[in-house]
Amino acid sequence: MKVGIAGTGKIVREFLNMQKDQERIEVTALVCRPQSEKTGRELAEQYGIPALYTDYETFLKEAEMDAVYLGIVNQMHAFYAEKALLAGRNVINEKPFTSTVKEAEKLVRLAREKHLFLLEAITLLHFPNYHWIQEHLKDLGKITMVQANFSQYSSRYDKYLAGEVLPAFDPAASGGSLMDINIYNLHFTAGLFGMPESVHYYPRIGFNGIDTSGTAVLEYPDFHAVLSGAKDSDSPGYAIVQGEKGYIKVNGIPSQVAELTVRINGETRTFTENRSAHRMVDEMLEFDRILTEKDWEKADRLLEHSLTVMKILETARKSGGIHFPADEA
């Protein structure tokens, strides 16, 4: 899969470090803003990227690629994805998929009209361990409770406390703990149980109206999922799905699903099925397969999942009193 990248930030560097050891993933072009050209040129030289652009429309027109990978700030996901789809390009969009449900639904309609692939890069959905949970959920019997915590003290939080607002804590950039970190817990849960009956979010609100941490409660017919995420404090990460016959526990942050402890009918075992050295490998190899085999059925299922999560995300955010400028569009 030949990929053209938009962006020069942290997630782009992760992508580049991942792909350098993957024969099936080739980065053929990079586009950045004119003010970031120096950084873009350094990345292109370091990772052997043949083409560098500072104009997005020229990049979309000229670059040799099977898909555009959008590793840019949250509030620009919808705009850049729409431009790419209108130019006839397949899109891999980093999480969060968009800022609002309205934006997401517009992109999905456009992708289907244009018969183009539109994929959200959310790593955990493609791990063998997560697939194992999906396949063995029935072994737990009737589900009684779900809990998850993904908390990580942000490298940007000290600046936030000092009054400097970077995109991760900026409502105008569709930032905040729910959008950046608790979203993994939402994907984890929705991928197993789908859309809940109701959603509530209880945030810790900072001085500019953004959530620095918070807990979402998803109400399903027979159980509640209590999902916590924080950028203002640390905690051991975990996710637990409990049933009348036992439990499945993710040992570590839910975004990686790195190790499972399973106790069913009184028997306990701990195992790891994941094989890849980098967390982004499984999803990108699956995207390569989807594009190569033109697996529209799988792509559509993933799109429906992304829409479900966006509905949960927006309902949670608004229930917590968090407003984005994108809500007015």
Q: What is the pLDDT of residues 32-85, one digit of tens each?
A: 999 999 999 999 999 999 999 999 999 999 999 999 999 999 999 999 999 999
- At a CB cut-off of 8 Å and minimum separation 6, what does 290 contact? 117, 119, 298, 299
Tokens describing residue 110: 């456009």
Q: What is the DSSP letter of 276?
A: -
Instruction: Say yes or no: do domains 2-122 and 125-281+309-328 share a fold.
Output: no
Query: What pLDDT does 280 receive?
Result: 93
Domain boundaries, the chain: 2-122, 125-281+309-328
The answer, yes or no, to whether residue 142 has pLDDT greater than 80, is yes
The answer, yes or no, to whether residue 259 has pLDDT greater than 80, is yes
Give whole-number Cα distances, 310 to 71, 282, 306, in Å: 18, 23, 6
Residues 242 and 137: their CA atoms lie apart, in Å, by 10
Once rounded to an integer, what is the mean pLDDT over residues 176-197?
98
The answer, yes or no, to whether residue 30 has pLDDT greater than 80, is yes
Q: How many CB atoms lie within 10 A of CB 277?
A: 8
Query: What pLDDT does 174 receive?
Result: 97
- At a CB cut-off of 8 Å and minimum separation 6, what does 35 contact? none
Whole-number mean pLDDT of the chain? 96
Give pLDDT tens digits for 152-168. Answer: 999 999 999 999 999 99
Q: What is the DSSP letter of 302?
A: H
Residue 15 contacts residue 71 (beta carbons within 8 Å): yes
Q: Where residue 273 falls among pLDDT bands split at 50, 70, 90?
A: confident
Whether cis (ω within 30° of 0) applies to the bond prior to 171 is no
Q: Are strands 2-6 and 67-70 parallel, antiparallel or unpaired?
A: parallel
Percent of the chain scored above 70 by pLDDT? 100
Sign of CA dihedral 268, 273, 277, 279: negative
Q: How many CB atoms lie within 10 A of CB 328?
A: 7
H-helix segments, the chain: 10-19, 37-47, 56-62, 77-86, 101-114, 128-136, 157-161, 177, 183-193, 281-293, 296-319
Nearest Cα to Cα of residue 324 among 211, 162, 204, 200: 211
Query: What pLDDT does 277 receive?
Result: 80
Residues 267 and 244: their CA atoms lie apart, in Å, by 14
Residues 135 and 60: their CA atoms lie apart, in Å, by 39
Q: What is the DSSP letter of 132?
A: H
Q: What is the DSSP letter of 48?
A: T
Question: From the CA atom positions of the chain, what is the Rg in Å?
Answer: 20
Residues 21 and 17: their CA atoms lie apart, in Å, by 8
Give whole-number Cα distances, 153 to 63, 215, 229, in Å: 38, 16, 10
The answer, yes or no, to whether residue 274 has pLDDT greater than 80, is no
Residue 69 contacts residue 92 (beta carbons within 8 Å): yes
CATH match for 125-281+309-328 among 3.30.70.141, 3.30.429.10, 3.30.360.10, 3.10.20.30: 3.30.360.10
Residue 72 contacts residue 9 (beta carbons within 8 Å): yes
CATH architecture of 2-122: 3-Layer(aba) Sandwich (3.40)
Once rounded to an integer, what is the mean pLDDT over residues 256-263?
95
Q: What is the DSSP letter of 88?
A: T
The answer, yes or no, to whether residue 138 has pLDDT greater than 80, is yes
The answer, yes or no, to whether residue 247 has pLDDT greater than 80, is yes
Q: Torsions phi, psi of 265, nearest 5?
A: 50, 40
Query: What pLDDT does 276 receive?
Result: 78
Question: Taking the model in full, what pTM does it have?
Answer: 0.96
